[in-house]
Amino acid sequence: MKVAIVGAGWAGLACAIEATRAGHAVTLFEATRHAGGRARALAVELPDGGHATLDNGQHILIGAYSATLALMRDVGVDPETALLRLPLTLRFADGGGLQVPKAPPPLDLLAGIVGARGWTWRDKWALLRTTVGWRINGFACAPTENVEGLCAALTPRVMDELIRPLCLSALNTPADAASAQVFLRVLHDALFSERGGADLLLPRVDLGALFPDAALAWLAERGARTCFGVRIASLTWPASPGSAVDAVPLTSTGSADVDWHVAGERFEQVVLAVPPWDAARLCARIGRADAAAWAQITASLGHEGIATVYAQGDVTLPAPLLALRSGPGAPAQFVFDRGQLGGPRGLLAFVVSASADERESVERDVLQQAAQQLGMRHLRPVQTVVERRATFACTANLQRPGMQVAPGLLACGDYVAGPYPSTIEGAVRSGLAAARSLANTP
């Protein structure tokens, strides 16, 4: 089939690769001049006058991202070279916190809990007892439950040093609002399913080189068209004069006997791989009741921001990643030493999940936090990147839109209904699922 994919983020690229692999004639539209969407490279000037390629936000992959890692290999990227693999670590500058050693699950988590530094036996026993309960219950809970309620039996130290930062990093939603159901799914797949599933995979290259650049080259070699700088203002479906706009005749094969118009071209199938607000805007204008209903659900999603503060100084962290104690006036949960990840020496990335503050106040507070918790009083700010709508708010009892929008029209992205929160793996899996549904889409 002739397929249009609108959006060249990770979901759109995954969809384009899988659709091309299935033999479809793919045209990929992207409004900007770069692929990658919200996970893309960013060129900056350093305080010493040098230049570096950073990211629009510091991203982490984990060992359980099976679909993402397989797709990287498919387009010629070696994850073992492009990513630094570390055991799950939530250690602070003072040495306290938890680190999961290399061992088969769940023995790795058990050893990590027992060996957690700065925790009392009451802290450790509460976490052990709670995780055993989750496993007995099949990592299931009511869809209305939030993470704070799920973990009510845990001690304040475990909540502050493990659950809340882990929830923010995985779901980018505060624990008192975050979906316990999704949180448990993430914990199950990362900590209880496969050896190394909880390992942290830190990019050694910029996010463009991590996957999008190689994906575009792979697509070009196989004849897929890519159209950059083309913003799709509308999608049109040419209904017959006088017919009901929702009445789509089906052929004997069950496919819709209709073409969609995108950027002046006719396509048999269209996949929207754009952010939810853009997808909702496009679908609301089509003039179909099913697309309008889908758009209403999508437009109702809440969103959370992420801020990344890049700063440089004559410093080296004791590890590529450290946890930070966050609270009022101390917004960052983690700091990354980019110098240990292939970047310029002394360049740090401070990550503030679920961030709602202004850029200037975030940067000021993070630099003060670095001085207080890390003893770094002479860091020079490089750039602060604020993504106001970095992820959807993964709240309890959330209704997410489905993949099917209308006959011949699909949507993919990390926000589309699925088991995962707003992550790269969620985006990739959604893109692959949309491509595999093309042949079966009415």
Contact call for residues 382 and 270 (beta carbons, < 8 A): no
> What's the CA angle centered on 15, arms 9 and 17, to 5 degrees?
100
Q: Does some domain include residue 231?
A: yes
How many domains, in total, are found in the chain? 3
pLDDT of residue 247: 36
How confident is the model over 194-230, as pLDDT tens digits?
889 999 999 999 888 999 999 999 999 999 999 999 9
Given 167, 194, 221, which residue is the final one in a domain?
194
How confident is the model over 312-356, as pLDDT tens digits?
999 999 999 999 999 999 999 999 999 999 999 999 999 999 999
Contact call for residues 185 and 394 (beta carbons, < 8 A): no
* 241 and 339 co-located in one domain: no
Q: What is the largest CA-CA distance in the chain?
A: 74
* Residue 13, domain extent: 2-36+211-302+396-440
pLDDT grade for 258, boundaries at 50, 70 and 90: low
CATH of the domain at 272: 3.50.50.60
Is 344 strand, coil or helix? coil
How confident is the model over 181-191, as pLDDT tens digits?
999 999 999 98
* 349 and 225 co-located in one domain: no
Given 132, 160, 194, which residue is the final one in a domain?
194
pLDDT at 251 over 70: no
Residue type, 407: P
Residue type, 243: S
Radius of gyration of the chain (CA): 23
Q: Does some domain include residue 201?
A: no
* 108 and 158 co-located in one domain: yes
* 226 and 276 co-located in one domain: yes
How confident is the model over 1-12, as pLDDT tens digits?
999 999 999 999
Q: What pTM was computed for the model? A: 0.92
